[in-house]
């Protein structure tokens, strides 16, 4: 279905991307010339009452998240029975495109991961306006959901799958929702999730930034998921694929990718602390 030429006060300019959670377009606000991103939501989000309630709650949560490393959500607009998510536009593409078009240095990898960690830590430990604390699980951390700007800003995006760990009520969305190649073992198995599932996914992003590939190879996503949930399989250290990668990067990445959540970093802050302890010489070696 073609998109409307105008969504509320915004004029649609061009498509940006398409994915499982909807098509995304660049739009411009006609009153002040501000550019934003408009995501066209799948029909079922409005037609199904539970999904609609879930979506409204997600937007309410997301609008409260204000951080330099988290994408800004402006609101939800419904027009002619179609839902549109209005959000901040990032003019530098996503991390997937960054990986494919350039070979980042170790220092660039470190800088990117620290910024992603900073945003994710904020999401995990956000306190709402009424002083309630809920740990929000993103559940779909992957390169496509890390957005960049020409000013070297890095922001975590797409909270369509996030949910607080406790007491928001509805639990209708399967814990397996997410992207198969970036799921933790417990997410693939449909087990109860906490913030450590995001840490595993973050470890995969870090592994891919360091080596240019994921830690496992398989013919398809089903075989890949079977490989991940097998305790017999352990990721090779990133330095096995690139000898220039220092041992300290191996240790941090593999700890994030531990099979058992209890063996991983328990918080993003712990991971970030180890990253910041890396020797300053990395900046000179990898510049």
Q: What is the pLDDT of residues 237-249, one digit of tens each?
A: 999 999 989 899 9
pLDDT in tens, 130-166: 555 566 899 999 999 999 999 999 999 986 555 554 4
Residue spans of beta strands (DSSP E) within the chain: 6-7, 10-19, 22-29, 35-40, 73-79, 82-88, 136-137, 146-148, 154-156, 163-164
What is residue 186's predicted lDDT score, i.e. its pLDDT?
96
Mean pLDDT of 79-85: 88
What is residue 55's predicted lDDT score, i.e. its pLDDT?
78
CB atoms within 10 A of CB 73: 22
Closest alpha carbon to 221 in 125, 109, 142: 142
pTM, two decimals, is 0.88
Question: What is the C-alpha to C-alpha distance for residues 47 and 63, in angstroms, rounded to an integer?
Answer: 23
pLDDT in tens, 181-201: 999 999 999 999 999 999 999
Token pair for 56: 């409204």
Token pair for 77: 């607009």
Burial of 77 (0-12, 13-18, 19+ CB in 10 A): middle
Average pLDDT, the chain: 86
What is residue 41's predicted lDDT score, i.e. its pLDDT?
84
Question: What is the C-alpha to C-alpha distance for residues 112 and 106, in angstroms, rounded to an integer?
Answer: 10
Find the farthest-apart pair of alpha carbons in the chain and give their distance in angstroms, rounded: 59
Identify the DSSP state of 2.
P
pLDDT in tens, 2-27: 677 899 899 999 998 765 556 899 99
For 6, phi then psi, to 5°, come to: -130, 135
pLDDT in tens, 25-37: 999 998 888 999 9
What is residue 18's predicted lDDT score, i.e. its pLDDT?
64
Question: What is the C-alpha to C-alpha distance for residues 167 and 258, in angstroms, rounded to an integer?
Answer: 28
Alpha helices (runs of H) in 37-191, residue ranges in sequence order: 44-47, 49-63, 95-101, 106-124, 185-188
Query: Alpha-carbon dihedral of residues 190, 269, 106, 159, nearest 10 degrees?
Result: 50
pLDDT in tens, 204-220: 999 999 999 999 998 89
Token pair for 108: 């660039």
Q: Is the per-residue pLDDT at 167 higher than 50?
A: no
| Domains (range + CATH), the chain | 6-88 (3.30.200.20), 95-286 (1.10.510.10)
Q: Is the per-residue pLDDT at 64 higher than 90?
A: no
Q: Is the per-residue pLDDT at 94 higher than 50?
A: yes
Question: What is the C-alpha to C-alpha distance for residues 14 and 24, in angstroms, rounded to an integer?
Answer: 9
Query: In this structure, are residues 74 and 86 in contact, taking their beta carbons and an 8 Å threshold?
Result: yes
What is residue 166's predicted lDDT score, i.e. its pLDDT?
45
Question: What is the C-alpha to C-alpha distance for residues 33 and 35, in angstroms, rounded to an integer?
Answer: 6
For 62, phi then psi, to 5°, come to: -60, -35
Q: In which band, very low, low, confident or very high, does the pLDDT at 128 lie, cut at 50, 70 and 90?
A: low
Task: State the catalytic residues.
Answer: 140
**Rounded alpha-carbon distances, angstroms, from residue 257 to 44, 213, 219, 261:** 34, 14, 21, 9
Query: Alpha-carbon dihedral of residues 35, 41, 46, 51, nearest 10 degrees?
Result: -110
């Amino acid at each position: 279905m073609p998109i409307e030429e105008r969504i509320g006060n915004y004029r649609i300019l061009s498509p940006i991307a398409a994915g499982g959670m909807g098509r995304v377009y660049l739009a411009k606000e006609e009153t002040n010339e501000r550019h934003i991103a408009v995501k066209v939501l799948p029909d079922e989000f409005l037609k199904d009452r539970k999904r609609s309630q879930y979506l409204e709650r997600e937007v309410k949560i997301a609008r409260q998240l204000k951080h330099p490393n988290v994408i800004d959500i402006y609101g939800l607009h419904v027009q002619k029975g179609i839902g549109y998510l209005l959000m901040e536009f990032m003019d530098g593409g996503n991390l997937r495109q960054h990986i494919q078009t350039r070979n980042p240095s170790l220092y660039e990898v470190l800088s990117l991961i620290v910024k992603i960690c900073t945003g994710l830590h904020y999401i995990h430990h956000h306190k709402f306006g009424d002083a309630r604390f809920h740990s929000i699980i993103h559940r779909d951390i992957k390169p496509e959901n890390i957005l960049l700007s020409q000013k070297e800003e890095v922001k975590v995006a797409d909270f369509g799958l996030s949910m607080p760990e406790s007491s928001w009520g509805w639990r209708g969305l399967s814990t397996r929702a997410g992207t198969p190649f970036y799921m933790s073992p417990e997410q693939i198995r449909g087990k109860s999730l906490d913030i450590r599932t995001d840490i595993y996914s973050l470890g995969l992003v870090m592994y891919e930034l360091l080596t240019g590939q994921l830690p496992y190879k398989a013919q398809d996503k089903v075989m890949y998921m079977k490989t991940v949930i097998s305790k017999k399989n352990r990721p090779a250290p990133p330095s096995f694929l690139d000898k220039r990668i220092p041992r300290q990067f191996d240790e941090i990445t593999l700890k994030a990718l531990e099979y058992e959540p209890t063996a991983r970093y328990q918080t993003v802050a712990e991971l970030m602390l180890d990253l910041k302890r890396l020797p300053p010489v990395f900046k000179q070696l990898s510049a």
